[in-house]
Every structure is written in structure tokens, then in C-alpha cells.
Amino acid sequence: MKISIIGSGYVGLVTGACLARANQNVTCIDIDKKKIEDLKNGKIPIYEPGLEELIREKVENNVLSFSSNIDQTIKNADVIFIAVGTPTNIDNDGVDLSQVFSCAEEIGKNIKNHTIVIIKSTVPVGTCDRVEEIIKLVNPTIDFDVVSNPEFLREGSAIFDFENPDRIIVGTKNKNSISALNSIYKKQIDNHFQIIFTTRRSSELIKYASNSMLAMRIIFINEIADLCEKVGADVQDIALGIGLDKRIGSEFLNAGPGFGGSCFPKDARALVESGENYNAPQNLLKAVIDGNEKRKKNLSQKIITIAKDKKNIGILGVTYKANTDDMREAPSLSIIPDLIDEGFNISIYDPQASKIGLKEFEKANWKTDIYSVAKNSDCLVILTEWVEFKNMDLKKISDIMNKPIIIDFRNLFSLNEMKKLKIEYHSIGREVVNFNKEIK
């Protein structure tokens, strides 16, 4: 099968590279000529562990190529994936589908033989139907099928997720497409991963419901963490205690600074919007979105209260989570400006985000390692869970900082470990360890 993927962003590149590894012949397309030139020269536009090496290998094997010529490339494709961006609309919480619809027009204009059009982009329920209408309008005689096949890739472990999926969801009732999708995902099916065939609308909705359910769990455990702090309970014990119930499960119960990224916030808003459009209000999700926004403000206030008579705050991590350079909707984008407004001097270290972060936080001092930040700070705030932070030399930190305070929004350290050090340690949903108070 000849596969074309329109959109060489995060999802398109991971999908393309992994399908090429599964012996498919793939061309990744993008309208951004510079990006395509860079990709041809082995330069990858995003940070994703393992992706650069995989792309290089598959290009050398002649099974993966790049093109900015959409017309020519899709003309002869058997299968076309649409993996373009679907950002939030500027004027409401709905989804801007202009890129998806312009792909549909290009496809209508260019395909010649039977083609399967697979929508990987996250799109609201009913979008596949609209894509089908557009293609038919542009080219009433052409034979094609539109299929929904949402992605469930976590940034930072996207290649693993693609090759070891909890499930593959496919929305189509067309026999040809069912057989093509079984062949595209043969490697996963042979490895006993489940593929579920359903209707297009159910498939579209499964994606939003999955992300929204996960976002809901995070807000739930974060609110339980707030209660733990008030009543002297430990949120990690609660997560363990409830997670061992098989009906609940233990994943996505890490309390933290709130969810961010390009998916959860955007998808939760979009599902609420779909609920409004179809008169089926998603009230629980509205509370989740609201709770997530309030959380970032509350955590800014928590830092301000702890560091009230100090001047210098060091921030460790500004991406929305570890193993990515992505800062979209990261809690740092709300917390750091609040601290700057409050008059604190801010130093920052992040293993990957300085390229984007430098533009976002011009007023901050960017450092190249944890200890240079500590040297300049009265108080260290951990916002992301990079392994590098978890492995930091706490003894060295307590030697470098005068009366060290660590505010850890990722619960990286055990309380017993912290009790042995001369560090005032605040985390999420757990007791405060205050060495200075204990020795008084």
C-alpha cells in the first residue's frame, strides 16, 4: 500500500515513522516547505525520544520520504491519513477545522482511484461526515471511503504507544477499509493488541471521552490532595489505596499542578462545546475545566505565601510534563507570570524548553543546570517531573542554598528522605517537612 500522511507535526511524523518501521511505504507531507527541507536533511522539528533515529533509519531504507507537493503525492496514494492541527477556535471553545477541510478539498481535487481517507486528527463528532461531503462535492464520481482512526499517543512515549497500543479504534463499516486497516496495523494485531471497529461517530467520540475521562481523574485527585493538606492525610497513600481497586485502576492518579498540553485542555473544551451543540450538556467536564484553571491560580498563591519574605525563586521545568519540549497550556505559563507580577526574580532551568521558553519568559534568567538555578534562589519550585530533577543531589542543593525551601508540585521525593535533610519541603497533598521548625 502507498500511504500519504498530510501534516508532518507530532502525530503525522510518529505515525509515518512507525508505519514505515512496519514495512509500509510512507510519504509525509506538509505545506511548510522549510519543515520538509529540514526533515529531508534529517532535522526533526519536535523533541520526541527515539523519533530522530527512527526517521533517519527509515529514510535510509527508502520506505519513508517527505514532500511539500500535496497534489502530486496524494494522486497515487492508496491510503491518505489526515494528521493536521485542530486548534481551539479563536472566538469560541469549538474546534477550528479549516486545515482538515482544506485537506478534504485537496483530496477531492487530486485522487484518481479508490482511496481510503483516514482521519487521525482529533475532530468533533460528525467531522468525518463533513469531510465525506466536501470530497463528494469537489469530485462527485470518485470512489473513496472516509475512516475515523484517532490517535492515543502520549508525548514523550509516542513511539511506544503507537507500537503497543491499549487499543486501536477504527470507525468504518466499509469492508474494503476494514481489511486495509487490519493490514496497516498487522504488526500490532499479530502482537495481540486489540483493534475495535465501530461507527465513525462512536470512534470520534471515543477519543474525546478518553481524554476527558483522564483529565477528570487528574482534577479529582488534585482536589483530594487539597483536602489531604487540610486534614493531614497523604494523597499518595490515597492514590495507592483507591488505585488497587481494579474497577478504578492506578494510572493517572498523580496529583500535580493541573493538566496541560495540546490535548486535554483543548479536547475537554471541545467536548463541552459538542455537548452544547447537541443539547446534551457535559456538566462534569465544565467543572473539570474550571477546576484546572483555578488550580494554577491557587498554586501561584501557595508559592507566594511560602516565599513571602524572599526575593528569588528558581523554577525547575516549564513544559507541561517531562520528556517533551512542548509548553502549550503548561501550568508554568500561568504560574510564572503571577510570580513575576508579585515582584519575585525568577531563574529557570528546563532540559528541553529553553528555545520556546526564552520567548515566553523574557524577564527570567535562564540557566543551564539545576545547581545554577539553586545558587540564585531562596526557594526552588519543581513544575515538571524530569528524571534529572528526581535524581538531583539534594545534599548539594541544601549546601548551595541558604535556608533552602523546595516546593515540589510533582511529589518527586519521599517524605522520609526529605526529613533527613536541612530543607524545608512542601509538596502536593502531603505533610510539610520543615527542618527549621523541627530543630527549634
Q: Tell me which residues touch ligand UGA (CB under 6 A).
A: 122, 151-155, 211, 214, 218, 252-254, 256, 259-261, 263-264, 320-321
User: What Cα–Cα distance (Å) separates residue 358 from each residue in 249, 349, 354, 366?
Assistant: 39, 11, 5, 7
Half-sphere exposure for 18 (CA within 13 Å, toward CB): 23
User: What Cα–Cα distance (Å) separates residue 100 from each residue in 96, 105, 118?
Assistant: 9, 9, 11
CA-based R_g, the chain, Å: 24
| DSSP-derived pairing of the beta strands 433-434 and 424-426 | antiparallel
Q: Of 17 and 111, which CB lies nearer to ligand UGA in the complex structure?
A: 17
Q: Of 122 and 203, which CB lies nearer to ligand UGA in the complex structure?
A: 122
Q: Of 320 and 349, which CB lies nearer to ligand UGA in the complex structure?
A: 320
Which three cell numbers mark 154? 502520549
Shortest separation between residue 216's beta carbon and ligand UGA, angstroms: 11
- Nearest Cα neighbor of 139 from 110, 119, 98, 162 is 110
Q: Of 135 and 215, which CB lies nearer to ligand UGA in the complex structure?
A: 215
Shortest separation between residue 322's beta carbon and ligand UGA, angstroms: 8
Q: Of 55 and 206, which CB lies nearer to ligand UGA in the complex structure?
A: 206
Shortest separation between residue 33's beta carbon and ligand UGA, angstroms: 26
Q: Of 134 and 169, which CB lies nearer to ligand UGA in the complex structure?
A: 169
Rounded-to-integer distance, Cα 438 and Cα 425, Å: 12
Shortest separation between residue 140's beta carbon and ligand UGA, angstroms: 34
Which three cell numbers mark 94? 469549538
Q: To which residue does cell 503507537 refer? A: 162
Which three cell numbers mark 418? 526529605
* Beta bridge mates, 119: 82, 148
Provide the residue type at 40 as one letter. K
Q: Of 181 and 327, which CB lies nearer to ligand UGA in the complex structure?
A: 327
Report phi then psi at 391, rounded to 5: -90, 10
Shortest separation between residue 228's beta carbon and ligand UGA, angstroms: 15
Q: Of 263 and 394, which CB lies nearer to ligand UGA in the complex structure?
A: 263
Shortest separation between residue 396's beta carbon and ligand UGA, angstroms: 26
Rounded-to-integer distance, Cα 93 and Cα 411, Å: 32
**Among all residues, which ones are annotated catalytic?**
263
Q: To which residue does cell 515582584 refer? A: 343
Sign of CA dihedral 287, 291, 294, 296: negative
Shortest separation between residue 298's beta carbon and ligand UGA, angstroms: 15
Burial 11-27 (b: 16+ CB within 10 A, else e): bbbbbbbbbbbbebbbb
Alpha helices, DSSP H, located in 5-88: 10-21, 33-40, 51-60, 70-75
Q: Of 77 and 147, which CB lies nearer to ligand UGA in the complex structure?
A: 147
Shortest separation between residue 279's beta carbon and ligand UGA, angstroms: 26
Which three cell numbers mark 303? 508559592
Shortest separation between residue 156's beta carbon and ligand UGA, angstroms: 7
Between vectors from CA 133 to CA 132 and to CA 136, what angle results, nearest 5°?
85
User: What Cα–Cα distance (Å) separates residue 114 from each residue in 29, 67, 108, 117, 148?
Assistant: 20, 22, 12, 10, 17
Provide the residue type at 200 as one letter. R
User: What Cα–Cα distance (Å) separates residue 403 from each residue in 338, 397, 412?
Assistant: 24, 10, 20
